[in-house]
Structure 1
Amino acid sequence: MATNISPICFIPFLIFLLFGALVQAIPTNNHGTDGSNIASRSIKVDLKTNPNYVPNGVAAYAHALKKWSSKTPGELAESLAAMGGSMFGELGATSVKGDREFLSSVGFGTPFQFLDVYLDTGSSDVWVYSSLTQAEDVGNHSTWVIAHSKTATPVENGTWIVQYSDGSAAYGKVFTDSINLGDVIIDKATIEAAISVSDEFISDEDIDGIFGLAYSLPNRASPQQPTVMSALLPLLSQPLFTIDLRHNSSNGAYTFGYIDGTRFLSDSGEHVHYTPLANGSTFWQFEFVSVHIGGTNDVHNDSFSAIADTGTSLMLLHSEVAKLYYDAVPGAQYNYTTSGGIWTYPCHTLPALPDFELGFANGFVVTVPGRYMNYSVFPYAEDTCVGGLQVIPDDDPQILGDVFLKSVYAVFDAGEAQIGFAKKDLD
């Protein structure tokens, strides 16, 4: 979730987008690659889910473009307006609202107050609803009650303003306090306590805050404070974390400080295949070199740069790559009329959606199954579906969101400045 900043204005903030993905803590049974038990504490928090939620592909695409691109077609925006050391740890990754997001219960303060937050590899700020949040913004969200923490310390003159690329924002005051992230305890971590949040946060009652895990992006605290990511990495046995998102499932997990060999096909000889991060990148940005569409011989060979972002549901790729895929989908069309430009296709083609394959210079190929390539029914026609792969302008970075990340076991290795992928059994 990319961020920028602009002067604050004390009027209601525009909507902030939340797509895809983070986690809820579930009872853990954590084992290392040698089978030994490496974590004993477990936490379970029931999520405030909406069983009637139906993903909206047009809204998801509009939000994703606003997040990562300044070029959102006016018609698409109108369509959206018309609708919406020696430490380690594990957090369960539970799908909420049809894989729209994955939430995790993270503890803040002393004693820990657990909130359902959204782990975001596309941003660096850690902010939560708090006892400072305006009553009209809190609604049914849980809050971090600062006075209940024995170790909460205000940062002198500390303020923060986060404005995301879609123009939405939040702001508040800065504190330091303890964080429990899957049994990894981070003391004196920078926590941003919200005073006001944007409308979409208010309406999404599942989410109590954002937990940024970008590679080296500074946070938006003033005066400048260390990111939680920079405080976390030295505590870990290995300076890395892993992501195993699971399609419509509560069986996924984030792990911190270790690679869980039981979560990918290590027993069959599979290993993690690494790709270096782009030089100077503050995001988890890397290159892939080829695209292959299952069931055809079409192969596109080039050098593509992409960002792995748990905070985006969709894959956003350049127009020629998207067209290559949808040329293999019967009846697919780039719908300009009612949605401002979005790939759709007849829903009856769903069983025949081809796989989407991305190749890396190290020889590894990630296969996104065809069944993951569908995102939702088109809001304006029940017999039309919206794809999980959409277009981002060719001069913007490509984004590999949860549609991609559900297909692999992913290792975010800050120590070696690389990202790794391995094959796993898919739900």
Structure 2
Amino acid sequence: MRSLSLCLIAALQAFVVALPQLLPPSLSISLTKRSTLSTSDGHVDPASIRAHISSTEAKLWRGAAAFERNTGVALFSSLTKRADASGSDPLVDDSNERWYGTVEVGTPLQTFTIDCDTGSTDFFLPGPSCGDACSGHKVYNPNSSSSAEPLGRSFVVEYGDGSMATGDLYADTVSLAGFEATAQTLGAASLYSYGFSLENFGADGLMGMAFESISRFGANSVFQTLVAQGAVPESVFAFKLASSGSELCIGGVNSALYQGSFTYTPVTQQGYWQIAGDGIGINGKEIVNGFSAIVDTGTSLIMGDTSYVSQLYAAINATEIGGGVYSLPCDAMPNVTITLGGTSFALSAESLNFGTYGSSANTCLVGIAGSDGLGDLWILGDVFLRNVYTVFDVGNSRVGFAELA
């Protein structure tokens, strides 16, 4: 297990100037990252990667449908829905790479483990009537919280591997890194499918960090509620994702984890954290010129439309093993750069290399995968985010990237 810290970075002096009273002091919450991409023999499982691709496609469509329902506007113009992105795929764990942390809910506060995801908005936990389906998870019981209020509505969330959760919506107090959101909308699940069983999903529930317009609940994320209620010193959160020393900072950035200045790119559509990119190059040659991208901690891979990804790999003679997944000799990972806001960010060979494939110790899978129907839309997941320090700025509707220290 790799450890991850959730920290709150802000100067006490700034608190005094900006706010009439002091916000909670800085504190650190331990988080872990679970990886289930490998089979029992230590090789990477292509089926898990394909399931992750399918799940990401389905997540895009769920968010796009919610956005159109909430705003009356189509979120994507180039996205083409795949027939197999509807949730009818074989039941394969889609929690291949997830960042887990803790959050406190209710009065009195109780601690739960949550999956932190910038590619979704809603927050749900196992409820008291979930029974055997939620066995091993800690249960949120609104009847035991004096601050819980039923909202009289139910919810259903579905994922590309066929997993789903359903239950009832409540408003309750949620504390994240010591910052308290009141009357936060959350789901208490009465059913978890196999994909959310403890075997496949190590967290108790999921906490999204995207915008309200893609919410299936029609509600703000926990962080946006904190911002709206003036509970955080700055309306930003920032990630460092790495094999060690990783952290998620709430209400500021950690200047010790990056060097130089941030390159900011505006959010082009407030739904997902969607931005415009300049180009994608491989071994010094730009292959993709101008694209739209979603910055998503809930996706392990970098994903692009099959047509663009095949062009990237054609330049280095990579082998497609099926379903948009490619392999290369383990010692031949290419030099990939992604240019955002006029700054080129290089991807390390370590982040690109997902590990050995099949019986060979010399063939490895690459962390850039193709998906049918994405058009000019790309998903910048962990394979990219491991190479930069990333700040999500709610107040200014932008995403910033800096070089890791």
TM range (shorter): 0.7 to 0.9
- The reply to whether residue 144 of structure 1 matches residue 144 of structure 2 is no
The residue correspondences of 1:16-415 to structure 2 (distance < 5 A) are 25=5, 30=9, 39-44=25-30, 55-68=44-57, 70-71=81-82, 84=93, 100-133=97-130, 135-155=131-151, 157-164=152-159, 167-202=162-197, 203-221=199-217, 224-234=218-228, 235=230, 236-246=232-242, 248-249=243-244, 251-265=245-259, 270-278=260-268, 280-293=269-282, 296-300=283-287, 302-327=289-314, 329=316, 332-336=318-322, 340-345=323-328, 349-360=329-340, 362-379=341-358, 384-396=363-375, 397-415=377-395
Aligned-partner SS, 1:68: helix
For 1:25 and 1:106, the matched residues in 2 are separated by: 13
Pairwise CA distance, 1:399: 0.8
One-letter code aligned to 2:399: I
Post-superposition Cα deviations, 1:216-240, rounded to whole Å, max 9, x if no partner, equal: 334323xx54443431222222222
| CA shift in 2, pair 1:142/1:304, >3 Å | same
Q: Structure 2 vs 1, CA of residues 45 and 289 (structure 1 numbering), >3 Å: closer, same or farther?
A: closer
> Counterparts of 1:24 and 1:198 in 2: how far apart (Å)?
27
Asked if 2 retains the 8 angstrom alpha-carbon contact of 1:169 and 1:197, the reply is: yes
Q: Is the 8 A contact 1:33 1:259 kept in 2?
A: no
Q: Which runs of 5+ in 2 are unaligned?
A: 16-22, 59-80
Write the letter of the residue equivalent to 2:184.
A
- Output the amino acid matched with 2:309: A
Gaps of 5+ in 1: 1-21, 85-96
C-alpha separation in 1, matches of 2:223 and 2:396: 15
Alpha-carbon separation, structure 1, partners of 2:395 and 2:140? 31
RMSD of aligned residue pairs (Cα, Å): 3.4
Distance of aligned partners of 1:310 and 1:334 in 2 relative to their CA distance in 1, 3 Å threshold: same
What amino acid maps onto 2:191 in structure 1?
A: S
Deviation track 1:319-370 (CA, whole Å, cap 9, x = no partner) reads 344234434546x21124xxx442123xxx323312310112x321111111
Structure 2 residue identity aligned to 1:310: T
* Contact 2:8–2:249 under 8 Å retained in 1: no
Deviation at 1:416, TM superposition (A): 1.3
Q: Secondary structure at the match of 1:351?
A: coil
The aligned amino acid for 1:334 is E
C-alpha distance after superposition, 1:87-121 (max 9, x if no partner): xxxxxxxxxx9x82211011111222111101111
The answer to whether the 8 Å contact 1:56/1:376 transfers is no
Change in CA separation of 1:216 and 1:264 when aligned onto 2, cut-off 3 Å: same
Aligned partners of 2:114, 2:120: CA distance in 1, in Å?
13
Q: Distance in 2 between matches of 1:309 and 1:399?
A: 7
Counterpart Cα distance in 2 of 1:253 and 1:46? 10
Identity %: 24
CA contact (8 A) 1:140 1:205 kept: no
Structure whose residues are more often strand by fraction? 2
Verify the 8 A CA contact 2:212 2:219 in the aligned structure 1.
no
**In the aligned structure 2, how far is the partner of 1:308 from the partner of 1:44?**
23
AA matched with 2:99: F
229-238 or 111-120: bigger deviation: 229-238
* CA shift in 2, pair 1:314/1:404, >3 Å: same
Deviation, structure 1 residue 162: 1.7
Question: Separation in 1 of the partners of 2:216 and 2:359?
Answer: 39
Find the aligned partners of 2:51 and 2:359 in 1 and give their Cα distance. Answer: 15
Structure 1 residues 73 and 335, CA, compared in 2 at 3 Å: closer, same or farther?
farther
Q: After superposition, what is the alpha-carbon deviation per residue over 1:144-195, rounded to whole angstroms, capped at 9, x for unaligned?
A: 233332322222x221112345554211111111111111111111111111
The amino acid of 1:259's aligned partner reads V
Q: CA deviation at 1:214?
A: 0.9
8 Å CA contact 1:47, 1:206 repeated in 2? no
